[in-house]
Structure 1
Amino acid sequence: MTIRLQLAKPKAKTRLGMLATSTFLALAVPCAFVAAPVLAQDYAFQSVKIEGNDRVEPATILSYAGIAKGARVSAGALNDAFQRLQGSGLFESVEIVPQGGTLVIRVKEYPTVNVVDFEGNKILKDDKLAGLVKTQPRKVFSPATLEADAAALAEGYATTGRLAARIDPKVIKRDGNRVDVVFEIKEGAVSEVNRITFTGNRSFSDRRLRDVLGTKQAGILHRLIQRDTFVPDRVQLDRQMLVDFYHSRGYPDVEVTGVSSEMTRDREGFFMTFNIREGQQYKFGQITTVSEVEELDAKEFEGLAKIRSGRIYSPTEIDYAVTRMEEVALRKGVNFVRVDPRITRDPRTQTLNVEFALVRGERVFVERIDIEGNTTTLDSVIRREFNTVEGDPFNPREIKNAAERIRALGFFSKADVGTKPGTGPDQVIVGVDVEEQPTGSLTFGASYGASAGFGLNASLEESNFLGRGQYLGISVGTTSDNQQNSIDFVEPHLLGRDLKGRFHLWYNTSESDNSDYNTKMMGISPSLEFPLARNARLEMRYSFLRNELSSVTSYADDTADGTDNGLWSSQILVAEEEQGARNSMGPGYTYTFDTRRTGIDPRTGFTFRFSQDLYGLGGDVEALKTTALLRAERKVWNEDVTLRAELEGGAIAARGDTTLTILDRFSGNNKVRGFESNGYGPRDYVHDGAGAANGDALGGKYFAALRLESEFPLGLPEEYGIHGGLFWDTGSVWGLDNTTGGRSGAPSEVDDSLRLRSAVGFSVFWDSALGPLRLNFMKAIKKEDYDKEQNFDLTIATKF
């Protein structure tokens, strides 16, 4: 980083201009003319004469000089007066000249700044740079401030990774005691992190630890596409992230003893080394609870710990136990109770014994909550994450939990929550300092199928709509055969409570999507979602659906010209088309249990979802539709490999005299990879000797799918952001109420039995400059002759 301070020459290179600049340089050097004899004696001045001042009042100058009329003044006092005047920052030069009984103070005021300009900047715009400097138009010019501004600009570029940025401030003198200030900027290249290494890590590989850091390593591909920059302020955060990573995996004694950041010779890169002392991994030992508060019985709190002995130690699990105990104490009406986890270790067995002690805390109240740094997000969005309001008893645990909830919103790149003393000894002020980050995302996707061809989709999402914390999502997808459009709006805190309100609208159409019929499906579904427990939530909804099947080719249509072209559809679909557009209405619910909400074990995640919709409270359809999903994820082999498993299924049963149509039944879409949309399941395919029909998929009343997947490194340098995966899917769609297919006069039986399909595939994951990208290469290994395969698909996501 280079900072050079100099005075600029006028742009017109004339002798007069050069002379003006030289004169300004001379005046910029402070000087004082004090006669030599004065230094040897004291004086008393009957009057003080001030010369050269224009903007500064004489009284102000006299107050800085501190010389009273008629008082005896020593040589040292004159020097002190000079120093005070010069140090005021108001004058370019100061002269103090005794002339008999008169003291003459001559000053030359600093000029006024006419304009402040920035030249050469491209990465940081003028408005951003203007906010970093204190030199402003129509204010008094100060060389010291100018030098500080140059340093501030260099620091601003350093935060973007441009440590080689060069700032040259220049001053151009104008008439009327005015100057123009120009900052000439050479932004330089981004200082990349060329290599990140670790020492002392035995339990986790360098690759795994690099994934933890906020600072990323740049490589050859990233030089061509995107650059990962070195930001000095991020180093301390990286250290803390490493410590948190080890703590959550049972290493309470871990230390990051040092971080070495060495700059390359060309000043465009850094080599970083993190020195780690891991310590031993511990497990939970004995878990006990004691109470030092008379109103509380320890036995009532023992079951709230929910920590099993022998489980790997996790501070998060202790935090949740403390939170549960303190919440119960508050519900019992006992304030100022604190739960202290007292930890003792047994190095011999490498276990930690935890005693939860209920103790009486200090009587401290929350005076107020101050929020700073949010320019888009409303204060109310942040404030509602606190269960504490002004005047409530101060609970450090609740403040910490509120801080975690604020960070979990995803609206802020930084969210610091702290406390400071209030106006009284029993008052505290809670301060929230946030730094906002982009919350919108623009996602593009592409897919390819042997028969469907290429498909494109795009979605626009904003998770902090208008700064209100609301979610708005718009999705549009299209292929040559179908279109899928939807709008979602979510209010996460309806009526100021933990009540999520959602409005979902969709409109989907298809034209001969692996079929010879068209569909139109639209619907509206408002819903409310609320918590049942820490990991469990329930959504209640009411749905309005309108579905229509059209353009089904009957046997009569196909033979209208007297020729059987074999283009006719199944009798099943012909009969279903005759029912016309149908409305479905009714309530539904979804129960979700997700351990990822707690994060107690960061290596494992478990999700269960169960949904039911009851149609028949209005509309043309009476049916009960049920779906369920079970998902598990586990990181193994020092967390370098991720294993996932998903089991999904569903059933729909008609009620009353309702006849289900293909628009009510399940299709094979996205259930088993390796197959096209409507690519497997019951199909009216082969008929009598008159020929084959269109072979349209009919869907089924039931579906089941098992998906197994692994994600792992490929051995490439991790800075490329490329890793691989393998997957195996199996499942089926089956079951029809009516299996009489074929054509009129020549019926045949449709096979709607349970026939398993399966496919294997290889995935490539790439964290590219465009966003996360996934390529799937698939092959169906168990299929029916009439199934439609898909061998490749691609998805891309990017954020703005």
Structure 2
Amino acid sequence: VIPFKNGDLYESDLIEKGVDNLTFAAGSAGFAFVDIRPRDEGNPQDRTVDVTYNVREGARVYIDKIDVVGNGRTLDRVVRREMLLTEGDAYNKALLERSKMYVNALGFFKDVEIREVPSATADKTNIEVAVTEQPTGELSFGAGFSSYEKFIFDVGITERNFRGRGQNVRARISTGSIQRNIDISFTEPRFMNRDVSAGIDLFSSALDYSEYTSYKSESNGFGLRLGYSLNGYSLLRLRYNLRSDDLSYGTTSTQCDDLIYSCGTGVTSSVGYTLSFDRRNDFVQATRGWQAIARQDFAGLGGDVKYVRSEVEAHWYYGFRKDMILHLQGLAGNITPFGGDAVRINDRFFKGGTTFSGFENAGIGPRDLSSTYALGGQTYAIGTV
């Protein structure tokens, strides 16, 4: 809490920082209004300074009312449900700071400020959540050129705060030389007024990897999603996907038999989960902390394909300055078939290009020696700084 120790050089900024840290610690213990005054006593003989913090505690404080101001479009309950404290709870400065982070992470507001306002009752305080709204809808048209997709065309419409209820609606069409995607999604962040998010996705895509692997695929399907916060730092997401794939490879059936094991149309029915742990100091622009994510999908709940697909991802942040942040990232994955099935080429991992800088698309992994085409891998591991 005290940002200095015996023998350190005296700095007035550190003295004030100590006041802020002690005030925050007192607030975390439930003391909203505390008076902390530092006192300096110089010792000319040994050229030192004694620093004493005089702390005057107030009574333990409870929250009387929580008011949301500045939200002309967003409903009050959208902000309130991100608060970790409610009326009647003991005041806790740490939970208020984290609540501010959650409200800001919604992306609906340009600025969020939480203020303590004295109440008419001595042992209570009012909380005022002041927000400044910003546009949440996007209508985009785009065209461009990239080393990955060559020419790209994109059109989409997104509303992240539909009807002011915090619902997310998106429709998007994009096409390039490698892939074409059409997807429509809807997400309800508080399904049935519970702390559970739910969503549905409809999608259609075509992938032309013939330049790198000599295979093409067309996929159509839908997905269902559920998400649940286990605590303030971890989140569990569940999903179900039903997808129909139409695969073609090269020009001969022999290539299908040898390399893909199953050309033509196949149905994939899978259930999966994502478990994430997030201890970053900021969800938008992290400068300290870490994040870990684990994903698994189990295909074989009906359909023609059977496999277990597992992936893990980890991030670590350390900020030396606001504009100098060290970010370490690690990723790994594996897909294992079962029931006598083989892994179809469109389910394998292709890394390179946008997924691993310094390599061309599908530039990492096993290849067909006769054609040099990439075959995709069943296991991968990547580390970046």
Matched, 1:395 2:91: yes
Q: 1:351 & 1:522 partners in 2: Cα distance?
A: 72
Matched, 1:361 2:57: no
Letter of the structure 1 residue corresponding to residue 197 of structure 2: K
Letter of the structure 1 residue corresponding to residue 179 of structure 2: N
Is the Cα contact below 8 Å between 1:570 and 1:684 reproduced in 2?
A: no
Of the three residues 372, 379, 384, the one matched with 1:702 is 379
Q: 1:343 to 1:424 in 2, by over 3 A?
A: closer
Displacement after TM superposition at 1:518 (Å): 1.8
Q: TM-score, normalised by structure 1?
A: 0.40
Structure 1, residues 452-501: CA drift from partner, whole Å, max 9, x if none?
53334455433212211122333433212321333333222333343222
Matched, 1:576 2:259: no
Displacement after TM superposition at 1:701 (Å): 0.7
Stretches of structure 2 lacking an aligned partner (at least 5 in a row): 5-10
Other-structure match for 1:503: 200
Task: Give SS of 2:361's match.
Answer: coil
Task: Give SS of 2:242's match.
Answer: strand
Q: 1:673 to 1:318 in 2, by over 3 A?
A: farther
Displacement after TM superposition at 1:411 (Å): 1.8
Q: 2:188 & 2:361 partners in 1: Cα distance?
A: 33
Q: 2:325 & 2:122 partners in 1: Cα distance?
A: 52
Q: 1:538 & 1:317 partners in 2: Cα distance?
A: 35
Q: What is the aligned residue count?
A: 369
Is the Cα contact below 8 Å between 2:27 and 2:92 reproduced in 1?
A: no
Task: Let me know the Cα RMSD of the aligned residues.
Answer: 4.4
Letter of the structure 2 residue corresponding to residue 472 of structure 1: V
Q: 1:519 & 1:440 partners in 2: Cα distance?
A: 32
Of the three residues 231, 239, 246, the one matched with 1:533 is 231
Displacement after TM superposition at 1:538 (Å): 1.8
Displacement after TM superposition at 1:319 (Å): 4.4
Letter of the structure 2 residue corresponding to residue 646 of structure 1: Q
Q: 1:574 to 1:423 in 2, by over 3 A?
A: closer
Please list, as runs of the form range in 1=range in 2, the aligned pairs for 1:292-331 lying within 5 A after superposition: 319=24, 323=28
Is the Cα contact below 8 Å between 1:341 and 1:354 reproduced in 2?
A: no
Q: TM-score, normalised by structure 2?
A: 0.76
Other-structure match for 2:216: 518
Please list, as runs of the form range in 1=range in 2, the aligned pairs for 1:196-595 lying within 5 A after superposition: 279-281=12-14, 319=24, 323=28, 360-361=59-60, 366=64, 369-387=66-84, 389=86, 392=88, 395=91, 397=93, 402-403=99-100, 405-418=102-115, 430-441=127-138, 444=142, 446-449=144-147, 453-514=150-211, 515-550=213-248, 552-554=250-252, 569=255, 571-573=257-259, 575-577=261-263, 580-595=264-279
Other-structure match for 1:67: none
Q: 1:586 to 1:426 in 2, by over 3 A?
A: same
Q: 1:678 to 1:508 in 2, by over 3 A?
A: farther
Letter of the structure 1 residue corresponding to residue 287 of structure 2: R
Is the Cα contact below 8 Å between 2:261 and 2:342 reproduced in 1?
A: no
Is the Cα contact below 8 Å between 1:554 and 1:571 reproduced in 2?
A: no
Stretches of structure 1 lacking an aligned partner (at least 5 in a row): 1-247, 252-277, 285-312, 327-336, 557-568, 687-692, 709-800
Q: Which has the higher helix share?
A: 1
Q: 1:549 & 1:521 partners in 2: Cα distance?
A: 9
Displacement after TM superposition at 1:554 (Å): 0.5
Question: Larger Rg: 1 or 2?
Answer: 1
Task: Give SS of 1:705's match.
Answer: strand
Letter of the structure 2 residue corresponding to residue 589 of structure 1: Y
Of the three residues 611, 624, 638, the one matched with 2:295 is 611
Q: 1:382 & 1:351 partners in 2: Cα distance?
A: 45
Is the Cα contact below 8 Å between 2:63 and 2:86 reproduced in 1?
A: no
Is the Cα contact below 8 Å between 1:531 and 1:537 reproduced in 2?
A: yes
Other-structure match for 2:310: 626
Is the Cα contact below 8 Å between 1:523 and 1:545 reproduced in 2?
A: yes
Displacement after TM superposition at 1:623 (Å): 1.2
Displacement after TM superposition at 1:683 (Å): 2.1
Q: 1:533 & 1:321 partners in 2: Cα distance?
A: 23
Task: Give SS of 1:406's match.
Answer: helix
Letter of the structure 1 residue corresponding to residue 216 of structure 2: N
Q: 2:156 & 2:66 partners in 1: Cα distance?
A: 37
Q: 1:617 & 1:356 partners in 2: Cα distance?
A: 63
Of the three residues 308, 318, 333, the one matched with 1:650 is 333
Q: 1:394 to 1:649 in 2, by over 3 A?
A: closer
